[in-house]
Structure 1
Amino acid sequence: MTQNFIGQITDTSLESGNDLAARLNAFDTAHKTNQAGATRPTGIGAGGVWSKDLGSSQFSLMIYDGAADGIVSTPNLSAFLAELLLPTSDGTAGQLLKTDGSGQLGFVSPSNIGAGQTWADLSASRVAGTWYQNTTGRSIFISILGRIGFADTVQVSNDGGTTAFVVGAGPTTASQSARAQGNVVVPDGVYYRATGGFTEWHELR
């Protein structure tokens, strides 16, 4: 690192072209490093800014008020110098940039429920007792209504049925005028079904 100031030239008759060139070259080198050094440059005045060399490629940006130096910032240069690799494709409308933690950026769709998703009535295509797996790559929301007066259930499972969790259940006797109702978020990869029967089956996906 170099610290240097041209200084005032009070007598041009004492300065040769070579002397002036040497001054300018020395100042140019110092200017490119923001007058970096372990201590404040001797030629700096009040309001002057300089870089304090802390070693190990770390610097503090300093400002001199005419009496003392104050730290403006000590940036983490290793973080600033991290390389981020942009994706090679454009992605699709509404997607966001996401890093893999190693500098590679990629486009992903928003993961919050409802973003870019629409409701679908699947009542005609779903079959009671059949396990369905969410393979959309993100969480979906299901809303299933059982039959009135039937012991229908709405279930979810992480493993396709070996262990199932009831998230909605109908009445235990036919005399009751209730019905199963399941409104639940289904993460990607998780299975879900209705047992017995149902009247309505909607999914936000």
Structure 2
Amino acid sequence: MKAFDEIYYIDSRKPEAEDILALRLSQLLARYPLPPVYLCIGSDRVTGDSLGPLVGTLLLKVQPTLPVIGTLTDPVHALNLKHTLSFLSEKFPGHPIVAIDASLGSRSHQEFFTVGSGSLEPGAGVDKILGSAGDLFITGIVAPTGPLPQLNLQTVRLSLVMRFAECIAGAVASLTLEKEAACEKLSL
């Protein structure tokens, strides 16, 4: 991550994690006049790295019109990230990009979400230099950093990744549904 102003850590094991994540994301998005685009980064071939595509898939099931890039059937990963970022800047100029990705972190923060302003550095945990992505970010810390980061990602429990994905998708969907309800009230 780079150029961040704020970063919040949220324990995914707490029952109120989804509500806290929705609140923090709502506060960060309030600074932007245009609606966000969700960039869900990761690979469907590595359990620990599948968080982004899982979130994208879940979001589109609940909110099919939500601008989401990156799903299990069409993932955004190291090979197409640069092209995807170019596409986003052309198709959604001025919209905040919320980058969603798995990450490695300290053992004390394992199973925590991070949410904040700034960009992510996808691939940094496995020593890849892919560039920066997003204006805001949500990560799920799926495993500790260590000498074999790729092995750490491959041995992450799918149940942890699913818990993260369901919580993130639930938080984003609740924000979207709140805005739609508010718009309906104004048009009555």
Q: Which one scores higher on RCO, CA 8 angstroms, separation ≥ 6?
A: 2
TM-score, length-scaled by structure 1 = 0.21
Structure whose residues are more often helix by fraction: 2
Structure whose residues are more often strand by fraction: 1
- Structure number, greater radius of gyration: 1
TM-score, length-scaled by structure 2 = 0.22
